[in-house]
Structure 1
Amino acid sequence: FAQRETHSLIGEQNIFGRDKAKNDIVKMISEAAESNSNTLSVLPLIGMGGVGKTALAKLVFNDKSTKDKFDKMLWASVSNAFDLKHIVNIIIQSDSGESNNQLTLEALTKKLHELLRDKRYLLVLDDISNDNVNWEELINLLPSGRSGCMILITTRLSKIASELKTLEPYEVPKLPHEECGKIFVRYAFRGEKAKDRELLKIGESIVQKCDGLPLAARTLGSLLFRKDISMWQEVKENNLLSTGKGKDDILSVLKLSYDALPSDLKTCFSWLSTFPKDYDIFRELIIMYWMAMGLLNPASRTKEAIRVGEKYFNELAGRSLFQAMFLIMMAASHIAKCIALFMI
């Protein structure tokens, strides 16, 4: 659950309670960009897992006044980065879309300097979680470009934030109960106009246990969508929701969502752990994989197995067990042809 790849696209209608934080950060970035300083500014966003650092960074990144300040905008997801060469390649790829794995660090650095020469740029380094990387050396590798260049980083690691900062780190606050409740209701009822009052009352207690963490509210809301009152009551009384125990305790909420899966879905989801970290999930590939592993009732016909696979995939996606989905939706007949080739 901890490792994931992020992107800069955002659905603002799904983010609640971050207007003030966004405006505060946009103002800090604007002031730094207009300072005419040749020093590369670094602003860390810090906070516990699940508090919404990435979502807030996306709001800032996509804000019009932010975009107006910079010649180039780059978003690099570095949660699974392991060395400088890998990170520099990710940064370049975020602009060109092309990987340069074959190049040396020296060649990559020259390419990066060419990309950013004489430009005022904003670079987001999202989810710095590996403290074995020399992040300070990375900052030194980056060109200063035009005056007012900025790096925005998101991390749970206060040590890294304090080492890299040139501006005072911004600690992302937990959401107020009311805003957290809006997220929970959005996912628990999915646009239903008539909301059961008894479920709403139980939901109030569940939201309280989310401890202001948007990810917890979203995950539990998705878990309870179209579930009966006994399931809501079970979640309300579950001790796993004590998110205040520690900075990584959000995992207990995600585990609760996993534990609530039916046995067949749990098996299918568990098999996804065989894929590499940050692997792009394509729906038809996953369905073929489940079929090859005999997880979709081997006795059933291909078309029926595909329908079951699609149902399983959509159920897992609906429970927020996948991060962001860029899915290639293929017609069943085309999937069947792919499967035939795959099995040959």
Structure 2
Amino acid sequence: MDAIAVTTLQGLTSYALEEFKLLWNGKNDVKRMKNTIRAIRATLLDAEAKANNNHQVRFWLARLKDVLYDADDLLDDLSTEVRGMLDEIDNDKKQFHLIDHPPKPSPVLEQRRQTYSFVHEDEIIGREEEKDMILHYLLDSGVKSSVSIIPIVGFGGLGKTALAQLVYNHVDVHKHFGLKRWVCAGNEFDVRQIAQKILGQADPKEIEQVQQDFRQLIEGEKFLIVLDDVWNEDVGIWHKLKSFLTMGAEGSTVIVTTRSEKVGKMMGTYTPIILKGLGGERSWELFCTMAFERGRESNDKELLAIGKEVVRKCAGVPLAIRVVGSLVYDKTLEGITNLSYLRNCELWNMDHLEERIFGVLKLSYDNLPSPMKNCVAFCSLFPKAFEFKKQMLIEMWMAEGFIQSTNQMRGEEDVGNEYFMNLLSRSFFQDARRDLYGDIESCKMHDLVHDLASVIVQFGNCLEILPNW
């Protein structure tokens, strides 16, 4: 919410105010409006920092959102009443003693923080046993059934998708299967839609035609299909889809990733692989990889002590460890070494681990520069598992006015690329793919990050809907 307000205010100080001249009689009103907006905008960064611990500041930001959330409405509906509301908000902010903060450029992160096109061996820490087990199932030449189902089960952030990607891209698996497909199932689990995703068909067709097309694709082929993020627990729907899948050659396999143990038991022909948190040593190894230069432990004993306590509170969840590690790296890059607030943060008091993971993501979001918050929130407009083309995404950010450069020598596109790489390094994006030249071409957003972005867009930056928040 606060980041969107910044962008709206920025727009209102330029083109929009010129349009308002047509609605108002008198340049003095325009000048006064500009000054009010600039005064509010200058203190937004300080307001953001104080909003999490000060309900009055939070309420003030909410009021600002009500006035400025939709700039188009302001253009069509500007009146003395709206101008008075802005004046009132500007006066109210004085009681909070907010400090003027000019926009700060975010630090440019080093090349080592950029992810790779596929999940490499050194990125999957502590999943060797599960990886070897799945590979054994996939490459077993003695399997005679027409289709086998391998469920990978665990709550969000444990690395189900990353593990599935690791085996899916394994060189031996590539040689073993003649046909490979990856499909994000998501909340909607419609047989026709799933089948058409496997077929790569965008336009809806009748189920009979889809079944014929599907038979033509897989008949006689030994295939591997990944159904990622399955939620539907309707056994009847699953049996209908399974009837489609029995048309392939012996040894064909489906890997299912799901948060639901019921789905795993219902769909699996193999015993579900239940992912648990990483052990202490593996958790610390992953944290060091993300938090310290070249993965080497810091010499700062206090920082190490804080890091170890925070890692323990992450309960072995890779996503949470990555995000906290990235936050520590970014803060130390900025010269900030007093990170005791991480250890004492209220999110660690949450009873449910999944709420705690969500809180870690929110903490990372809160520490983003305002323009980057806009970029994250914007991505919630797209469906989960949507594959963003990097260049197209940056151009959309530019078109929305989210890119803010503090250096006239740098173009918007260069700054947008920096935003993208920052967000990628902080685990807001994942599954980055590179082109033949090694440049990142596309990425996806983790479904928990997508959930966070959707909540922020809908409810603002307060997240009071979270239990015990």
Same fold, judged at TM 0.5 (above): yes
Residue of 209, 214, 221 corresponding to 2:325? 221
Aligned positions, number:
316
Residue of 250, 270, 286 corresponding to 1:167? 270
Cα distance, 1:171 vs structure 2: 0.9
Cα distance, 1:153 vs structure 2: 0.7
TM-score of the pair, normalised by structure 1: 0.80
Report the more deviating stretch, 289-298 or 9-18: 289-298
Cα distance, 1:294 vs structure 2: 3.0
Could you report, residue by residue, the CA deviation over 1:211-268 in whole angstroms, capped at 9, with x for unpaired residues?
A: 0111111111112213145563222221314576144542222111111223333233
Could you tell me whether the CA contact under 8 Å between 1:189 and 1:225 is conserved in 2?
A: yes
Cα distance, 1:280 vs structure 2: 3.0
1:202 aligns with 2:306: yes
Q: CA 1:297 to 1:26, structure 2 compared with 1: closer, same or farther past 3 Å?
A: closer
Could you tell me whether the CA contact under 8 Å between 1:120 and 1:147 is conserved in 2?
A: yes
Could you tell me whether the CA contact under 8 Å between 1:77 and 1:127 is conserved in 2?
A: yes
Match of 1:61 in 2: 168
Aligned to 2:282, the other structure's residue is in SS state helix
Could you report, residue by residue, the CA deviation over 1:10-62 in whole angstroms, capped at 9, with x for unpaired residues?
A: 2222111111121222223444x513234x22221111111111122223323
Report the more deviating stretch, 196-205 or 268-277: 268-277
Aligned to 2:339, the other structure's residue is in SS state helix
Distance in structure 1 (CA, Å) of the matches to 2:185 and 2:313: 30
1:18 aligns with 2:18: no
TM-score of the pair, normalised by structure 2: 0.60
Could you report, residue by residue, the CA deviation over 1:123-174 in whole angstroms, capped at 9, with x for unpaired residues?
A: 2211113447923321122234222222221101122222222222121122
Could you tell me whether the CA contact under 8 Å between 1:49 and 1:156 is conserved in 2?
A: yes
Q: How does 1:1-344 map to 2 (within 5 A)?
A: 9-31=118-140, 33-38=141-146, 40-79=147-186, 81-93=188-200, 99-131=201-233, 134-191=237-294, 195-198=298-301, 199-228=303-332, 229-230=336-337, 232-241=339-348, 245-247=352-354, 249-297=356-404, 304-326=411-433
Q: CA 1:157 to 1:109, structure 2 compared with 1: closer, same or farther past 3 Å?
A: same
Cα distance, 1:315 vs structure 2: 2.0
Could you report, residue by residue, the CA deviation over 1:59-96 in whole angstroms, capped at 9, with x for unpaired residues?
A: 33234454454333332222254422221122123xxx
Distance in structure 1 (CA, Å) of the matches to 2:283 and 2:183: 28
Q: CA 1:67 to 1:291, structure 2 compared with 1: closer, same or farther past 3 Å?
A: closer
Distance in structure 1 (CA, Å) of the matches to 2:407 and 2:286: 39
Q: CA 1:75 to 1:238, structure 2 compared with 1: closer, same or farther past 3 Å?
A: same
Report the more deviating stretch, 100-109 or 203-212: 100-109
Distance in structure 2 (CA, Å) of the matches to 1:100 and 1:292: 27
Distance in structure 1 (CA, Å) of the matches to 2:251 and 2:404: 59
Distance in structure 2 (CA, Å) of the matches to 1:64 and 1:279: 26
Aligned to 1:324, the other structure's residue is in SS state strand
One-letter code aligned to 1:205 = E
Aligned to 1:36, the other structure's residue is in SS state coil
Q: CA 1:29 to 1:314, structure 2 compared with 1: closer, same or farther past 3 Å?
A: closer
Report the more deviating stretch, 145-154 or 294-303: 294-303
One-letter code aligned to 2:212 = K
Distance in structure 2 (CA, Å) of the matches to 1:274 and 1:63: 33
Q: CA 1:106 to 1:206, structure 2 compared with 1: closer, same or farther past 3 Å?
A: same
Could you tell me whether the CA contact under 8 Å between 1:48 and 1:248 is conserved in 2?
A: no
Distance in structure 1 (CA, Å) of the matches to 2:174 and 2:397: 43
One-letter code aligned to 2:316 = G
Q: CA 1:102 to 1:235, structure 2 compared with 1: closer, same or farther past 3 Å?
A: same
| RMSD of aligned residue pairs (Cα, Å) | 3.0
Cα distance, 1:175 vs structure 2: 1.0
Q: CA 1:217 to 1:242, structure 2 compared with 1: closer, same or farther past 3 Å?
A: farther
Aligned to 1:127, the other structure's residue is in SS state strand
Identity, % of aligned pairs? 32
Distance in structure 1 (CA, Å) of the matches to 2:175 and 2:433: 28
Distance in structure 1 (CA, Å) of the matches to 2:377 and 2:202: 32
Higher helix share: 2
Could you tell me whether the CA contact under 8 Å between 2:405 and 2:411 is conserved in 1?
A: no
Distance in structure 2 (CA, Å) of the matches to 1:188 and 1:298: 27
